[in-house]
């Protein structure tokens, strides 16, 4: 029995794409769909256990076999469950007892190659409710995905980030990670991204938790 953890929300996409969204995620990826159910357990972005029951093919997979099977699926419906250190240890022990641990070479090399080529902006844009994503610098858009005209707001967004950075410094709140503007018509998330700035335009009902997780993954970068 795996720990309950804390749900961060539901996503749709490939398991390989998850690493580009949140490369330091710790917890469980719970898969549930018409063709089967299972899980992948992850610590600091590294998978350590997996299991999957493929009802379509009447297969019960565990460990490396389950992980490779799920990694090869182009799209899955899954839920992210965050674990504490204690929950991670409990999940690892439960996986050890049931034979679900993944070896260090559980992922196929080809899958790793696809992951390295995955665009972080594309993955954020695929999140439910996201309309468009843009990276800009000094008021000029460098790369955009989706349908929105960021040219009109890029300079103002950077001014807001600079103002927010000054406010957090004056209030001794630490470094600014994200700013959110919310209206009945939508949500705009602005965040520093190295020397650049990141802007995400989303629908009013978009899951902010998942979007913020995606942004954090980009800001931290690969381990």
Q: Look-up: residue for tokens 């890029």?
A: 154
**Residue 114 above 80 pLDDT?**
no
**Residue 22 above 90 pLDDT?**
no
**Residue 177 above 80 pLDDT?**
yes
**Residue 9 above 60 pLDDT?**
yes
In the predicted model, what is the mean pLDDT of the chain?
81
Cα separation values, 36 from 68, 69, 73, 79, 195, Å: 15, 12, 12, 14, 43
The confidence score (pLDDT) of residue 90 equals 95
**Residue 127 above 70 pLDDT?**
yes
The confidence score (pLDDT) of residue 58 equals 77
* Sequence-ordered list of residues with C-beta below 8 angstroms from that of 121, at least 6 positions apart, any chain: 133, 135, 143, 144, 145
- Work out the average pLDDT over 118-140: 78
The confidence score (pLDDT) of residue 182 equals 92
Q: Residue 123: is it exposed, middle or buried by C-beta count within 10 angstroms (0-12/13-18/19+)?
A: buried
Q: The domain 122-220 is classified under which CATH number: 3.30.1490.190, 2.30.29.30, 3.30.450.30, 3.40.470.10?
A: 3.30.450.30
Annotate 11-56 with DSSP letters as a single string: EEE-HHHHHHH-TT--EEEEEEETTEEEEEEEETTEEEEEEEEETT
Boundaries of CATH 3.30.450.30 in the chain? Answer: 122-220
Percentage with pLDDT > 90 across the chain: 33
The confidence score (pLDDT) of residue 155 equals 75
* Sequence-ordered list of residues with C-beta below 8 angstroms from that of 97, at least 6 positions apart, any chain: none
Ranges 10-19, 38-47, 127-136: which has the least confidence? 10-19
The confidence score (pLDDT) of residue 221 equals 59
**Residue 87 above 80 pLDDT?**
yes
Structure tokens at 128: 């439910």
Structure tokens at 106: 């559980």
């Amino acid at each position: 029995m795996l720990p309950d953890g804390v749900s961060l929300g539901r996503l749709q996409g490939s398991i390989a794409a998850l690493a580009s969204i949140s490369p330091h995620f710790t917890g469980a990826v719970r898969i549930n769909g018409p063709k089967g159910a299972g899980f992948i357990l992850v610590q600091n972005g590294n998978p350590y256990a997996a299991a999957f029951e493929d009802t379509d093919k009447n297969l019960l997979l565990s460990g490396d076999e389950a992980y490779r099977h799920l990694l090869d699926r182009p799209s899955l419906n899954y839920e992210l469950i965050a674990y504490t250190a204690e929950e991670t240890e409990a999940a690892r022990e439960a996986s050890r007892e049931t034979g679900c641990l993944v070896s260090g070479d559980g992922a196929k090399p080809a899958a790793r190659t696809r992951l390295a080529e995955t665009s972080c902006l594309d993955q954020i844009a695929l999140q439910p409710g996201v309309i468009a994503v843009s990276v800009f610098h000094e008021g000029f858009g460098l790369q955009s995905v989706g349908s929105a005209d960021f040219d009109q707001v890029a300079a103002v967004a950077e001014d807001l980030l600079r103002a927010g950075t000054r406010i957090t410094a004056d209030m001794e709140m630490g470094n600014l990670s994200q700013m959110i503007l919310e209206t009945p018509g939508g949500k705009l998330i602005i965040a520093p991204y190295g020397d650049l700035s990141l802007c995400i335009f989303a629908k009013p009902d978009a899951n902010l938790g998942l979007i913020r997780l995606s942004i954090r993954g980009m800001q931290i970068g690969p381990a």
